Structure 1
Amino acid sequence: MSSSPSSAPAPVARRQIPLFSPEYYAACTLGGVVACGPTHSAVTPLDLVKCRRQVDPALYKSNLDGWRTIVRNDGLRKVFTGFGATFVGYSLQGACKYGGYEFFKHTYSSLLSPETAHRHRTLIYLGASASAEFIADVFLCPLEAIKVKQQTTLPPFCRNFVDGWRKIVANEGVAGLYKGLTPLWCRQIPYTMCKFTSFERIVEAIYARLPKPKEQMTQMAQIGVSFVGGYLAGILCAVVSHPADVMVSKVNSDRKAGESMMAATSRIYSKIGFAGLWNGLPVRIVMIGTLTSFQWLIYDSFKAYIGLPTTGH
């Protein structure tokens, strides 16, 4: 016998997470993990060939030739060399970057009146993203060092990131895991400042030109705006951060024992010149544009799923 409507269980209401509460920042931190770890590790084959061509432009004729050569010589699995270090490193970085950005953005805005904060919102976005990335790179750097060494050393330097960690610490000490921190900051901080600030302003411009205000749009439509804004921001990020990206790859693979960062950078630059800083830019535009768009798609989808507003005005 069917139950009466009055006896049907009432739907359980999802508890609302208060904005800017510890739970809110924890949720944004988890969203950063979900957005960054899987997306960065998914494009490991692109990153592998890009890094190897940055270190040795003559190694492969093209990206396609690189993948064909790797598969032919070492098997399909080897195109994912560096996958583990990438996943762990960028999961940690994503947690600090997204959670930290939300925290610093609100903190810096709270120091000003609402009118002043709105007028200087671009400076707030820049400061919040730089602060978050500065911290995030401390967690990313050891895994990035292992990944680059694993990808650019032939045969590969280590079997996995745990093996790589042990080898670097045994040979160079803990400092060996952080020898690329300064160039990583030089690459990632401008990248993240561009990523978050351009995203916020691009999304703001998109909403200003749509027939409905954001509050009257469906969550699906808002997430679509995030995806478009993320891709456009990603193209800008790729160009801004590419020279430092090349130098990170070079320093991690070619810095000599006892050599200072400035000496290594100067020596490497004298070999590759200004043109060499732009090796691999087209593939990085595709990689970073795709990464950034899907990260904002995943991050804002996650926020929407747990009942938080999507990013941007």
Structure 2
Amino acid sequence: MSQTVQKAEEAKKSSVTAAKPYPFYLGGLAASFAGSITHPLDLTKVRLQTSEDKKMIQSFRRTISNYGIRGLYDGLTGTLLRQMTYSLMRFAAYDHFKSQLHQGPGPPPVWKLAVAGSCAGGLAGMFGNPAELIMVRMQADRGKPPADRYNYRNAIQGLYAMAKQEGVTSWYRGLVPNGVRSVLMNASQLGSYDWFKHTILDFKMFQDGPIVHFLASLGAGTVATTVCSPADVIKSRVMNAHDNASVLKVIRDSVAKEGPGVFFKGWLPAWIRLQPNTILIFLTLEQLKKGVDRYRRAGGTLL
């Protein structure tokens, strides 16, 4: 009798856990952890997109030769600020839109995942644009001639300097390409991760766990890198421009000078950077969610 009661209580706790949303900030925490580890790759990707460096290894060597290992962590405060604004918003909004779009049994269809990701990306792109801008400027700074550098000490000081020197509206420079990239990224990364995860589980070869999360992340990272590359290149160049060039001017000048392939410049470092970043984000996020589940089943009420 006691075992029956115990199982009933566990089932009740499990249903309550499943019905209650996860804390909205889990995605931001997972992304901050992943971003800290993959920051050198992200920094190299931005410098390839905004400088004359042609190869990833060449850019790595130049940074280490000139500034040491610490040079690979230029702009880290910008990355952390970005993750706790942009990434926090995109994961929280994605879960909300997904739950609103699909309330029936079974996993959501792929089009609903894409719509939820697109809506979340649009909101996150606007909310996180100032941090995205500061991050790009700080990462690209040492790849430019000394006279063209911004020399921000950290992300907060950079935002203050921008507001003082260029006006608060400067925080939203590059909003259009950043917003487009954000929509594409979240539709392709978040939506494809859920699709890959559901598809792998449907084969019943693996149980829901780290192997499934790893494989789904691998697929999501590849899809997201390819879909987002053109918008990512344009965004980085617009945000890093000193002459307030328009998006169309940046596109025309880039194509005229480097050809259509410019839109996939930095694809390899972007993929190499995004793959571990995507894997770390989703593996960490899944573990954080399981930790919250265990805490709730144990009777915890704070999360």
Give the structure-1-normalised TM-score: 0.81
2:236 maps to 1:246: no
C-alpha displacement at 1:84, in angstroms?
Answer: 0.5
CA distance in 1, matches of 2:37, 2:77: 11
Aligned to 1:195: 189
The match for 1:45 is: 40
Q: Hey, what's the Cα distance between the residues in 1 that align with 2:217 and 2:159?
A: 33
**Aligned mates of 2:111, 2:59 — CA distance in 1:** 41
Alpha-carbon shift at residue 163 of structure 1 (Å): 2.3
Q: Which residue of 2 aligns with 1:105?
A: 98
Residue 180 in 1 paired to residue 168 in 2? no
Alignment of 1:10-89 (within 5 A): 18-21=17-20, 24-25=21-22, 27=23, 29-56=24-51, 58-59=52-53, 62-89=55-82
Tell me, in whole angstroms, the C-alpha distance in 2 between the residues paired with 1:132 and 1:256.
Answer: 31
Q: Tell me how far 1:94 sits from its aligned partner.
A: 2.0
Secondary structure (helix, strand or coil) at the match of 1:256 reads coil
Distance 1:129 1:20, change over 3 A: farther
State whether residues 54 and 280 of structure 1, in contact with CA within 8 Å, keep that contact through their aligned partners in structure 2: yes
- Rounded to whole Å, the distance in 2 between the matches of 1:164 and 1:297 is 32
Once the 2 structures are TM-superposed, how far is the Cα of residue 70 of structure 1 from its aligned partner? Answer: 1.7
Distance across 2 between alignment mates of 1:150 and 1:34? 22
Tell me, yes or no, if structure 1 residue 132 matches structure 2 residue 120. Answer: yes
Distance 1:100 1:148 in 2: 24
Partner of 2:256: 270
Give the unaligned 5+ runs of structure 2.
1-9, 295-303
Which whole-Å CA distance do the structure 2 matches of 1:41 and 1:273 have between them? 33
Does structure 2 conserve the Cα–Cα contact (< 8 Å) formed by 1:52 and 1:151? yes
Indicate the residue corresponding to 1:289 in structure 2: 275
Offset at residue 202 of structure 1 (A): 1.3
2: CA distance between counterparts of 1:211 and 1:45? 35
Render the CA deviation track for 1:250-297: whole Å, top value 9, x for unaligned: 11112523x443344434443333111111111111111111111111
The SS at the match of 1:43 is helix
Contact 2:86 2:124 in 1 (8 A): yes
User: Which moves more between the two structures, 295-304 or 162-171?
Assistant: 162-171
CA distance in 2, matches of 1:187, 1:292: 16
Is the 1:194–1:236 contact (alpha carbons within 8 Å) kept by the matching residues of 2?
yes
Distance (Å, rounded) in 2 between the aligned partners of 1:277 and 1:236: 16
Tell me what 1:298 maps to: 284
1:216-266 CA distance string (max 9 Å, x none): x4xxx5232112111111011111101111111111112523x44334443
User: Residues 128-184 of structure 1, C-alpha deviation per residue, up to 9 Å, x if partnerless?
Assistant: 111111111122211111111122233452121122112221222111111111101
Q: Is the 8 A contact 2:121 2:184 kept in 1?
A: no
Does the aligned pair in 1 maintain the 2:28–2:87 contact within 8 Å? Answer: yes
CA RMSD in angstroms, aligned pairs only: 2.4
Extract unaligned runs of 5+ from structure 1.
1-12, 309-313
AA aligned to 1:30 is: Y
| Distance apart, 1:66 and its partner CA | 2.0
Residue 110 of structure 2 corresponds to 122
Give the structure 2 partner of residue 223 of structure 1. 210
Distance apart, 1:103 and its partner CA: 0.8
- In the TM superposition, residue 211 of structure 1 has moved relative to its aligned partner by 4.8
- Counterpart of 2:189, as a letter, is K
Secondary structure at 2:264 match in 1: coil
Indicate the percent of aligned positions where both proteins have the same amino acid: 22
TM-score (norm 2): 0.83
Among 142, 149, 165, which residue is 2:130 paired with? 142
| 2:81–2:155 CA contact under 8 A, matched in 1 | no
CA distance in 2, matches of 1:197, 1:190: 10
Question: Are 2:117 and 2:186, in contact at CA under 8 Å, matched by a contact in 1?
Answer: yes
Higher RCO (C-alpha under 8 Å, 6+ residues apart):
2
Q: Which residue of 2 aligns with 1:7?
A: none
Q: How many residues align?
A: 277
Structure 1 counterpart of 2:297: none
One-letter identity of the residue aligned with 1:240:
V
